[in-house]
Amino acid sequence: MCGVAGIYHKNKENIVNQQTLKNMVRLLHHRGPDEEGYWIKDNVGLGHARLSIIDLSSGQQPIHNEDKTIWVVFNGEIFNYVELRHELIAQGHSFYTKSDTEVIVHLYEQYGRDFVRYLNGQFAICLWDDRKKELILVRDRVGIVPLYYTEQNKDVIFGSEIKAIIAALDTSPVLNPNSLDQLMTFWSPISPNTLFKDIYEVSPGNMIIFSGKKEVIQYWDWSFSNKDSYLQGTDEELAGTLHDLLIDATKIRLRSDVPVGAYLSGGLDSSVLVSLIHHYSENSLRTFSISFEDKGLDESDYQKEMIEHLSTQHSQIFCKNSDVGAGFLDTIWHTESTILRTAPVPMNILSGLVQKQNYKVVLTGEGSDEVLGGYDIFKETKIRQFWARNKNSQIRPILLKRLYPYLDISKKQGLVYLQNFFGAGLDAPEQNIFSHLPRWQTTAKCKDFFSNDLKSHLSDNAVDLINNTFPEQFSEWESFNKAQYIESKSLMSGYLLCSQGDRMLMKNSVEGRFPFLDHRVIEFANKLDPRVKMKVLNEKYLLKKAMQQYLPKNIVKRYKQPYRAPDIAAFYSGNTPEYVEDMISNAKIADYGYFDPKRVERLIAKIKKGRAIAYKDNMAFVGILSTQLWHLHFIENFNKNFSFNTQLSASIN
Amino acid sequence: MSLEEQIRGYVLENYLFTDDQSALNSADSFLEKGILDSTGILEVIYFIEDEFNVKVEDDEMIPENLDSVNQIVAYIGKKQGS
């Protein structure tokens, strides 16, 4: 991966300031520490911070076509570039590098805006067509690689991270209150919103063309088959197709001129990937994992089993609760967003380990749960649907206990609380958002801490808004598929791939690659009957069937453990970091103005008494602290951070 | 401070994070108003046991005893009287 940045002044007389572009790129130094590259022509400038992975010697960006009328900066990987290159050469194009980036300019020459449909990869592409005087920004189908932009005073400013954009702005950024309201419901703002007012992401699967006007094209979206058009075949046949697709998706993701490693959590998904690398590639097996002080979060035993099973060369790093507390401050500089869990911090520690071992690329199992039906929320949806058919049943909701055994406090009590929590929306099981209502209602409790001032700036109901974002055919899909759509488009792209994914990898200049998010795998899985993805309550049934031959039985049969990190415990189980005391002090809460100081004070008092064990208290605390830190980094201290980071990158170069 | 005020104060402070008395009626159902979830109820039980020297038995952990300020007051009264 790399970092991209650029400026397009729609007013032709307005020449791009080279220093501004350099400042933008230097803030992205962590994404691409190997080289910087620039191209400026009058009112357009493209900048690039390079992490060299393919064509180390001649792949410097920006890259142009034969007559230098098309220029591109690109962050990501085109995994099918080998095949595309052959085809384009046969069609008469000449290449001056061996990089995957150059494929983009020739594909664009060949197919125009449709070029993106030919790409299998993860990418943020910024392309300038000097003949048409058009700027094209494109992002990959599911949102693996970030890309942001703002339009202000006839200028378009864009970059891989928002900090690069802020560096080019004349005014300080401000919070978009509605985005925070959405984030504290769905875990991320509704795309294309970001936490920053007037700064947007290029939504996954979208292309935006800026010329005189702005045109948005959605070239891809998650789309599911209807009940009467699911793929036909026996379970064995379907598992066979999935098996072959995953092998190819993994193999093309091992294409690289530097060695590729893999994350190994001990769960099914990463074990599948590591097994496929072992069986179907020449790559030596290099794996990385994290272990936790809190035994409830630790998966070391399963990791050990896979390491022994495949004899991988493995590195593990141990994460103490206090490491999470200490790393949280810097993490928010990279997430550029409020987060409701500390889970990104250990991912940052893990990519730090990868970097120390001189690896730049890792394969990782994200996306499998969304694509192949692994999450508890999908099971929950199935059970609640079943229960909704007979709302008064005392027996049907008991199935929920299989999902959440820890909620079983005592027989009768446990059931009543389960019924109350999961009973939300039971009157309308056909409604679009049925699957996610219980989770959203719990998350929204964070908003009880909003200050009156912030509340007065809220204009829209978050749930109404998300309801309007679904595609036309959405209502025809089965609930399971609706849940997959919502999960993939909100939590996965907005949080997992972003705050917990790209940002934590790139902070340490490590590129993640995601075979389960190969669009061919997704498109195949989306045509399946949900009952094959999850057989009764057996999650990822087809994946297990396709891959069990490579895995120890324990890994296939194990209870799925969601990845978690210590939340409140990271800050209050030993010495509380000084910055935390400062950020959640009455004075700072009042000063920044987003939250009600008195309510926050009571939450902190409860935490200090050791009584804040509820899930929603943990979310509220992490959400409040991260929002405060977001303000500190990007509003109060941005100029300080800016000079520190640009000087740092200048001294390294 | 009466028992009712004590319990109301606790719930207001620890679950609604406010001292605004109008935020909670003593008859309000914690479940219906979304004030407590299943982990929240554990905290309430700790509170009752610590503050009122009452041991809450497994079969007493039911909404009829614990789902509103009034119900908790009645429950504690019954336990202390027994």
DSSP B33-64: TT---HHHHHHHHHHHHHHH-----GGG-SHH
φ, ψ at A17 (rounded to 5°): -80, 115
SS3 state at A209: strand
C-alpha angle A615/A621/A625, rounded to 5°? Answer: 150
The per-residue pLDDT for range A264-280, each reduced to its tens digit, is 998 999 999 999 999 98
Cα dihedral sign, A87-A93-A99-A104: negative
Joined together, the tokens standing for residue A360 give 């730049």
Chain A CB contacts of B42 below 8 Å: 409, 613
Domains of chain A in start order, with CATH, are 3-218 (3.60.20.10), 229-366+500-517+545-557 (3.40.50.620), 569-640 (no CATH)
- What pLDDT, on a 0 to 100 scale, did the predictor assign at position A410? 47
Structural tokens at position A174: 């401000």
The residues, ordered by sequence, that sit 6+ positions from A649 with a Cβ below 8 Å of its Cβ are: A26, A27, A29, A33
Q: Do B63 and A603 touch (CB under 8 A)?
A: no
| Measured distance CA(A242)–CA(A145) in Å, rounded | 25
Q: Name the CA radius of gyration of chain A, rounded.
A: 24
C-alpha torsion sign, points A319, A628, A144, A481: positive
Closest residue in B to A610 (Cα–Cα): B43
Q: Tell me the chain B residues in contact with residue A418 when contact means C-beta distances shorter than 8 Å.
A: 38
More confident residue, A624 or B60: A624
Q: What's the pLDDT score for residue A29?
A: 93
| Dist CA A489 CA A188 (whole Å) | 10
Residue with tokens 């201290």: A637
Secondary structure letter of residue A228 according to DSSP = G
Terminal CA-to-CA distance of chain A, rounded, Å? Answer: 18
| Residue pair A9/A157 in contact by the 8 Å Cβ criterion | no
pLDDT of A212 reads 81
Contact (Cβ atoms closer than 8 angstroms) between residue A209 and residue A158:
no
Q: What is the structure's pLDDT at A651?
A: 62
Distance CA A442, CA A425 (A): 13
Chain A stretch 539-598, residues whose beta carbon is closer than 8 A to a beta carbon of chain B: 596, 598
> Using CA of residue A597, residue A599, residue A602, residue A603, what is the dihedral sign?
negative
Which H or E run contains A229? Answer: none
More confident residue, A120 or B30: A120
Q: Could you tell me the sign of the dihedral formed by the alpha carbons of A245, A247, A248, A253, in that order?
A: positive
* B49 in contact with A, Cβ within 8 Å: no
Segments in A263-320 forming alpha helices (H): 268-280, 300-310
Sign of CA dihedral A181, A184, A188, A190: negative
User: Are A266 and A303 in contact, with CB atoms under 8 Å apart?
Assistant: yes
Q: Which of A56, A2, A52, A4 is nearest to A25 (CA)?
A: A4
Q: Tell me the C-alpha distance between A384 and A435, whole Å.
A: 8
pLDDT value of residue B38: 65
Structure tokens at A297: 């979060």
* Tokens describing residue A467: 């309801």
Please indicate whether, in this complex, the C-beta atoms of A417 and B59 are within 8 angstroms of each other.
no
Whether residue B50 lies within 8 A of chain A, CB to CB, comes out as no
Is A463 in a helix, a strand, or coil? helix
Total beta-carbon pairs less than 8 A apart between chain A and chain B? 64
For the segment B58-78, the average pLDDT, to the nearest whole number, is 89
CB contact at 8 A, A84 and A103: yes
Which residue from A414, A449, A611 is facing B38, i.e. has the nearest CB?
Answer: A414
Give the containing element (helix H, strand E) for A3: strand A3-9
For A54, residues 6+ apart whose C-beta sits below 8 A from its C-beta are: A77, A81, A98, A99, A100, A255, A256, A257
Which residues of chain B neighbour A445 with C-beta distances below 8 Å? 34
Segments of chain A scoring below 50 in pLDDT:
408-410, 653
The answer to whether A638 touches A172, Cβ cutoff 8 Å, is yes
Closest B-chain CA to A412: B62
B38 touches A: beta carbon within 8 Å:
yes
Q: Residue B52 sits in which domain range?
A: 3-81
Peptide bond preceding A173: is omega within 30 degrees of 0, i.e. cis? no
- Bin A76: left if φ > 0, else alpha if -120 < ψ < 50, else beta: left
Q: How far apart are CA A47 and CA A59, in angstroms?
A: 14
| DSSP E strand boundaries for A374-498 | none
A535, with CB counted inside 10 A (0-12, 13-18, 19+), is middle
B64 in reach of chain A (CB within 8 A): no
CATH of the domain at B70: 1.10.1200.10
Is there a contact between A293 and A319 (Cβ–Cβ < 8 Å)? yes
Check: CB of residue A257 under 8 Å from CB of residue A58. Answer: no
pTM above 0.90, yes or no: yes
* CA–CA separation, A329 and A337 (whole Å): 12
Do residue B63 and residue A448 have CB atoms under 8 angstroms apart?
A: no
Candidates B10, B13, B14, B55: best to mutate against A (most CBs of A within 10 A) is B14
What total of structural domains would you count in chain B? 1
The alpha carbon torsion through A156, A161, A164, A170 (nearest 10 deg) reads 60
- Whether residues B58 and A407 touch (CB distance < 8 A) is answered with no
